[in-house]
Amino acid sequence: NTLEKQLNKIFNDDNKFLTDFEPRINLSEDENNYYIHADLPGMAKDKIKMEIDEERTLTISGERENIYKNNNDNFRKEKQENEKEQTSTTTATTTTTMDGIEMEEDQKNNNNGHKYSVMECSYGSFSRSFTIPEDGNIDNIQAKMENGVLEIIINKIKTQKSQTRSIQIQ
């Protein structure tokens, strides 16, 4: 039970252990196209930015908003309003574990009534960059977003196979 309390404290402590969001990427190609698939769960296409520079570097960036932070902010606002209306005390207990570590368990450490034991989702800004090969047509890149997956298609430019030609000597 003590271990459970420690884990709950770690995972519920204002989300300080959440890392920045880094979308998972699949790169593939066939004889006609290059493909980039980016997993962007819960993101709308208007929250994603794509740019290509003169060095043929395609950058996908954006921000996956932290729903837990928004819930915590709303909770804090409600708490402050309630404290102005009436004087109340926050119920907190200090527990000393078997190895002598003191930890404080805040009874109000929740989000809209939900107490999270585990939060594995990550949120925050991200940016991923890819160098487009020379045979990729950077003037005609197609992108679509469906079911949280961004699919980018880059057409390959057909290169002329080298042919041997005769050169007349004058």
pLDDT tens digits, 127-165 = 999 999 999 999 999 999 999 999 999 999 987 667 777
Distances (CA, A) of 58 to 11, 27, 133: 35, 13, 11
pTM of this prediction?
A: 0.59
Can you give the pLDDT at residue 97?
Answer: 45
Alpha helix (H) residue ranges in 1-146: 2-12, 67-85
Q: How far apart are CA 159 and CA 34, in angstroms?
A: 15
Low-confidence ranges of the chain (pLDDT < 50): 14-18, 72-77, 79, 86-110
Can you give the pLDDT at residue 157?
Answer: 93
Can you give the pLDDT at residue 131?
Answer: 93
Can you give the pLDDT at residue 87?
Answer: 42
**Residue (of 76, 46, 56) closest to 131 by Cα position:** 56
Q: How do residues 161-170 score in pLDDT, each as one tens digit?
A: 677 778 889 8
Can you give the pLDDT at residue 99?
Answer: 46
* Domains assigned to the chain: 2-84+94-156 (2.60.40.790)
Q: Are 60 and 43 in contact (CB under 8 A)?
A: no
